[in-house]
């Protein structure tokens, strides 16, 4: 009898559909072109899942930028989930902090899929083991959505506690819930833990700037790793494995699109996981996220800072990229800089968006007169040396000195 083939799982997270930063208006949709960037990444993920015959797609939280996305964004997301459903691919949608309402009784932005009972779609709003029968066998998916303090504040005895106490108690409760989920597993079938929170040791990124709600840090040991064949995490935008070289992999898929320049050098994508009991393998699949290019130029030695900047920018790949430029100038060069000309050149070179052209001014270096004791020289001699330090020729110096004597004579006479 042949062994059961591995179950094919696609893991992604932190879509944040609705981010508009660094985007121009798209006349076709009336939305920021950056919204289209994020929607394109989702389309590419869904296309990959269908073409590679995924059995399960796991989304580890944060579908939208805000808790209350507009109808256009909800429609864009729903179209792609419907495509997975029609392909017979089971999709697990975990609620992240951007999906959770502030008030517990309000619906999340994902609830509609459960209410409509969309085929092959599971909306995970609590700690539970979901048993999914796939063409390649049974897969157990334990879900842990974003841990909310509100679950504690329902109880009178916790309302007077300090935030730090609540966080410690919440971490303890979630750890106990994960242990409970592990105890409910069938030991003969592969199992995945899906969670949306921060784990100690992770490399943080932009999510700290866009965070909605407080952030509880969980210990790696609290995930009860021996029970799982893969741990699929969401919430942190930087792709990383927190258990490298060991089993199971504990993986943040990372965000599929760059949110800001702090993510400019990060590879964006999703994870393709082949799940087998005790023998799961996975790999990261990169996506063509929008490039973000920062150009830093020192122009302090240039006679024409604008031309020098234009020549330097020709060496940078700005086509289809979001670009920001930082220039370093002497204060006396400021009037020579043509920012509009630089911005126009970037657009002509195909930049998708110019995020800003900023410059920093430094004072022009003071001329040195080469004097050890200038107080021993007359005002006229000091002035003559100053003109020489500025590079004036001798004929012009004499003309300037003649004018200076005329100005100084009334002063000298009044001093007597």
Calculate the alpha carbon distances from 286 to 120, 230, 265, 414 in Å: 26, 19, 13, 81
What confidence score (pLDDT) does residue 147 get? 86
Looking at residues 309-335, what average pLDDT do you find? 94
Looking at residues 71-90, what average pLDDT do you find? 94
Percent of the chain with pLDDT over 70: 86
- Per-residue pLDDT reduced to its tens digit, 359-396: 999 865 555 555 555 666 778 877 877 777 666 777 78
**Residue 169 binned pLDDT confidence (cut-offs 50, 70, 90):** confident
pLDDT at 105 over 70: no
201-205, 228-232, 282-286: least confidently modelled range: 201-205
Delimiting residues of CATH 3.60.21.10 domain(s) in the chain? 7-286
- Per-residue pLDDT reduced to its tens digit, 106-116: 678 888 887 78
**Residue 104 binned pLDDT confidence (cut-offs 50, 70, 90):** low
Cis peptide before 248 (omega within 30 of 0): yes
What confidence score (pLDDT) does residue 378 get? 78
Q: Is residue 294 classed as helix, strand or coil in its secondary structure?
A: strand
Average per-residue pLDDT for the chain: 87
Looking at residues 169-190, what average pLDDT do you find? 93
Looking at residues 284-301, what average pLDDT do you find? 96
Q: How far is CA 26 from the centre of its chain?
A: 22
pLDDT at 214 over 80: no
pLDDT at 158 over 90: no
pLDDT at 211 over 70: no
What confidence score (pLDDT) does residue 347 get? 95
**Residue 212 binned pLDDT confidence (cut-offs 50, 70, 90):** very low
- Report the candidate in 37, 13, 29, 5 with the shortest Cα–Cα distance to residue 233: 13
Looking at residues 142-151, what average pLDDT do you find? 81
Task: Please say whether the beta carbons of 156 and 22 come within 8 A.
Answer: no
Q: In CATH, what class is 7-286? A: alpha beta
Please give the residue that has the higher pLDDT: either 362 or 177.
177
What confidence score (pLDDT) does residue 210 get? 44
- Per-residue pLDDT reduced to its tens digit, 20-59: 889 888 787 777 899 999 999 999 999 999 999 999 999 9
- Report the candidate in 216, 273, 279 with the shortest Cα–Cα distance to residue 92: 273
Residues with Cβ within 8 Å of residue 61, at least 6 apart in sequence: 13, 14, 94, 95, 96, 97, 98, 99, 145, 146, 196, 234, 235
Q: Is residue 185 classed as helix, strand or coil in its secondary structure?
A: coil
What confidence score (pLDDT) does residue 209 get? 47
Looking at residues 262-270, what average pLDDT do you find? 94
DSSP 187: T
pLDDT at 155 over 70: no
Give dist(CA 385, CA 378) in Å, integer.
Answer: 11
Please give the residue that has the higher pLDDT: either 403 or 161.
403
Looking at residues 242-246, what average pLDDT do you find? 95
Radius of gyration of the chain, Cα coordinates, nearest whole angstrom: 31
- Count the residues in the chain: 416
Give dist(CA 273, CA 92) in Å, integer.
Answer: 15
């Amino acid at each position: 009898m042949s062994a059961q083939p591995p179950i094919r799982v696609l893991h992604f997270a932190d879509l944040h559909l609705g981010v508009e930063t660094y985007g121009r208006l798209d006349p076709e949709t009336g939305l920021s072109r950056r919204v289209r960037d994020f929607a394109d990444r989702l389309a590419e993920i869904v296309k990959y899942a269908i073409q590679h015959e995924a059995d399960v797609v796991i989304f580890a939280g944060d579908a939208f930028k805000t808790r209350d996305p507009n109808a256009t964004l909800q429609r864009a997301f729903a179209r792609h989930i419907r495509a997975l459903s029609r392909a017979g691919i089971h999709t697990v949608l975990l609620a992240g902090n951007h999906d959770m309402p502030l008030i517990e009784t309000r619906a999340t932005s994902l609830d509609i899929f459960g209410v409509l009972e969309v085929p092959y779609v599971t909306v995970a709003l609590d700690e539970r083991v979901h048993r999914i029968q796939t063409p390649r066998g049974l897969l157990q998916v334990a879900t842990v959505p974003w841990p909310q303090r509100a679950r504690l504040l329902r109880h009178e005895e916790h309302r007077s506690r300090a935030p730090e106490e609540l966080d410690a108690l919440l971490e303890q409760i979630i750890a106990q819930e994960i242990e409970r989920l592990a105890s409910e597993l069938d030991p003969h079938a592969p199992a995945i833990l899906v969670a949306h929170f921060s784990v100690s040791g992770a490399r943080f990124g932009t999510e700290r700037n866009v965070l909605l709600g407080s952030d509880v840090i969980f210990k790696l040991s609290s995930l009860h790793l021996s029970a799982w064949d893969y741990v699929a995490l969401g919430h942190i935008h930087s792709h990383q494995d927190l258990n490298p070289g060991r089993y199971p992999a504990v993986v943040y898929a990372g965000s599929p699109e760059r949110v800001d320049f702090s993510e400019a050098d990060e590879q964006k994508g999703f994870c393709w996981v082949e799940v087998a009991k005790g023998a799961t393998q996975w790999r990261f699949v990169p996506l063509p996220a929008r490039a973000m290019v920062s150009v830093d130029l020192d122009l302090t030695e240039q006679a024409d800072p604008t031309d020098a900047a234009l020549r330097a920018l020709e060496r940078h790949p700005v086509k289809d990229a979001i670009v920001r430029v930082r220039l370093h100038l002497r204060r006396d060069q400021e009037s020579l800089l043509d920012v509009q000309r630089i911005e126009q050149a970037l657009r002509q070179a195909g930049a998708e968006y110019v995020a800003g052209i900023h410059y920093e001014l430094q004072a022009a270096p003071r001329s040195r007169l080469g004097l050890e004791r200038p107080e021993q020289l007359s005002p006229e001699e000091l002035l003559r040396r100053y003109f020489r330090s500025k590079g004036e020729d001798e004929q012009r110096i004499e003309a300037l000195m003649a004018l200076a004597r005329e100005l100084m004579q009334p002063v000298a006479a009044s001093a007597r």
